[in-house]
Amino acid sequence: MTNDLLTSYTLPNGVKLKNRIVMAPMTNFSSNNDGTVTEAEVNYYSRRSHGVSMVITACTYVTPNGKGFPGEFGADNDEMIPSLEKLANGIKKNGAKAILQIFHGGRMCPADLVPDGDVVSASNIPAAGENNPVPRPLSEQEIENIINSFGETVRRAIEAGFDGVEIHGANGYLIQQFFSPHSNRRDDRFGGSIEKRMAFPLAVVDRVTETVKKHANFPFIVGYRFSPEEAETPGITMEDTLELVNTLADKELDYLHVSLNDFTSKPRRGVDDLNKTRLEYLLETINNRVPLIGVGSIYSAVDARRAFATGIPLIALGRELIIDPDWVEKLETGKEDEIVTELNKNRQQELVVPDPLWNIITNTPGWFPGID
Tens digits of residue pLDDT in 273-331: 999 999 999 999 999 999 999 999 999 999 999 999 999 999 999 999 999 999 999 99
Q: What is the pLDDT of residue 102?
A: 98
Chain centre distance of CA 38 = 20
Find the helix packing angle between 238-248 and 278-286, rounded to 10°: 30
User: 344: helix, coil or strand?
Assistant: coil
- pLDDT for 211-262, tens place per residue? 999 999 999 999 999 999 999 999 999 999 999 999 999 999 999 999 999 9
CB 239 within 8 A of CB 270: yes
Q: What is the pLDDT of residue 113?
A: 97
pLDDT at 100 over 50: yes
DSSP state of 74: B
User: 317: helix, coil or strand?
Assistant: strand
How many residues are listed for the chain in this entry? 372
Confidence grade of residue 2 (pLDDT, cut at 50, 70, 90): low
Q: What is the pLDDT of residue 128?
A: 87
CB 190 within 8 A of CB 240: no
Q: How far is CA 351 from CA 98, 281, 337, in A?
A: 20, 36, 19
Largest pairwise CA distance in the chain: 58
CB 307 within 8 A of CB 315: yes
Q: Which of 314, 292, 304, 368 is nearest to 336 (CA)?
A: 304
CB 301 within 8 A of CB 2: yes
Cα 266 to Cα 262: distance, rounded to the nearest angstrom: 9
Q: How far is CA 71 from CA 25, 30, 60, in A?
A: 15, 5, 10
- The catalytic residue positions are 173
**Phi and psi for 229 in degrees, rounded to 5?**
-150, 160
Mean pLDDT, residues 361-371 taken together: 95
Cα 305 to Cα 301: distance, rounded to the nearest angstrom: 6
Chain centre distance of CA 271 = 25
* Mean pLDDT for all residues in the chain: 97
Residue ranges of domains in the chain, CATH in brackets: 2-341 (3.20.20.70)
- pLDDT for 56-82, tens place per residue? 999 999 999 999 999 999 999 999 999
Mean pLDDT, residues 344-371 taken together: 96
Q: What is the pLDDT of residue 1?
A: 46
Q: What is the pLDDT of residue 107?
A: 98
Cα 182 to Cα 237: distance, rounded to the nearest angstrom: 11
